A and B are shown apart, each in its own frame.
Chain A
Amino acid sequence: MNKVTLYTNARLLDPDSGLDIKGELLTINGEIAALDKKVEAPENAKIIDLKGNCLCPGLIDMRVFIGIPGADYKDTIKNTGEAAAAGGVTTVCVQPDSDPIIDSIPHIEYLASRAKNALVNFIAMPAVTKKLEGKEISEIGIMSKAGHNAFTDCSRTIENAALMNRIFKYASAFDALIITHLAEPNLSKNGCMNAGELATRLGLPGIPTAAETIVLERDMRLLKSSNCRYHASQVTCADSIEVLKNAKRNGYSVTAGVAVPHISLNEYAIEDYRTFAKLSPPLRSEDDRVAVIEALKDGTIDVIVSGHDPEDPETKRVPFEQAEAGVIGLETLLNICLEMYHNESIDLLSILAKMTSNPAKIMGLESGRLKVGAPADLCVFDLNVPYRVDAKKMISITKNTCFDGRPVQGRVVKTVVRGESVYEYAS
């Protein structure tokens, strides 16, 4: 029997086509079947009144860690799926540094089998180098041909420039996407926050922005001799943005992302040694944060990620230098980003594009658009409702959010994956 649902009384938002109208959207058997001001629905359609709320493509999060390595794999996948659904995220790109490390087809299949019953889509992002060691190229060709063609060493930088050069060349033969983490190892070693006056005041070892920019500059130089598709996972400073801008101007197939905390917080969030704001790369200066917003606005930065990284609270209840870096973020991806709409920095469709159509294009996914024939992965949100982020109410098992108590406007009220409702906000 066909499963038919008609969503009525919605503000339809499709960043890809620029659509922003009051209308209706019909899904049949997990696909979008029609969308318009008025849609003729079959008789058996279940009708859901969205009460004027926004309806956009389900969010695609390109940087998600599925949990504390060594913790119960299955349970963290289930929980990650639930947290994603609550955040309007319908596709999570799983970083490979789980246990086991995802660096080959069997590991991808293992993850897929584990994630079969998860609420949202899990896409494996396999490692660029075997076991993330930065020494040997993983089986990029075989994995790409099997449809897994976005690779990353997630939180590690490939230090060896000769190896990086070969990776770019090799990957270009398979149209693989290489996603990088930008932190020159020697400049980053022992560092735990942005280098600068505050680090000096707190007596903490700093990581200069140069650590990020140097790697990006090196990679751009190497890309000159290959056509590899390149995505900088997180850019956090004005200097890196300048390098990106040049590369894009010169026609390189380069894209870039940024994580939500770097959009909305600066280094002062860690004052008083708040380990919940310890990140890699670290939170930067206010000038850099403003540059990031500008780069989102002018399109230099294409993607916004949550960087969702559940950490055992015990690894955060230690002195700052010893604390693990990482924050959860699936449930605060959309509402924190909507700040840029409410404070009139960036228009709504452009913000949504960074979490829907842009990552879909970069990753080669069918989702991320409101289009007939596209998967019915949808996010429904109330654009204006004001409240405070409350860590205690979060679905994520670990509560290491850096936004607890922050006043926000906008809330996900419903999430749909392949036509099925996977989340409903209950007040």
Chain B
Amino acid sequence: MTAAQQVTVGATAALSVRGLHKEYVPGQPVFRGIDLDIAGAGLTAIIGSSGAGKSTLIRCINRLVAPTSGQILFEGVDLAKARGKPLREARRRIGMVFQEYNLVERLTVMENLLTGRLGYLSAFTAWRRKFPAADIERAYGLLETVGLTDFANTRADALSGGQRQRVGIARALMQQPHLILADEPTSSLDPKTAVEIMQLLAEQGQAAGIPVLVNMHDVLLARRFAQRVIGMARGGIVFDGSAEALTDDMLKTIYGGEQWLH
């Protein structure tokens, strides 16, 4: 592996994808033969045109979507084949941030943050709402980190888009994850808020020392915040290197067309 592909030298791969293949309609694969290693703290951006399979790939990693074949090794568990308890225990170590925030609208910010700990609680304890004091403290701490202390008891649907995404990031961090996945976290936000959110993701990832894997459309944002960029096109990975190595020619290969570049 080149230095660009292993951001922290000597770190073992937290996530190892081998030969991943997904097709919704038989004979029309979304992607095939995906090999990927993610290790060490740092932000990796996946770019590619719509329909290239970025969202599907991210969702395969925490098995929200079941891959057709292949292997997804995360901390010793093959997520492609796991089910039941081992799958849930692996999932709780992977935090996810969504394009449309996916907060539970009718619950308050605090309640949404605490749902991040559901992977660590039995259903009965959760039903009785007896969250451990440590979790509640962690929630308040994270609220401060994302700058939303005053909104602890506000209903999620009363927040702006940028605020909701902050809650989404805080919820993912509540899980004390070893990996953060983000599926186009800034696509629904205005340019300024998008930068703030990417900054938050990058900083928190570094602070926790964990890899952050982000799908994005905005190449400028990718260049600005990602240490490593992966380009997907035509069902496979066509580029995997540092942000600096991402040339205009390479972008043409990934996205096709020329008009949009200038």
* Genuine A/B complex: no
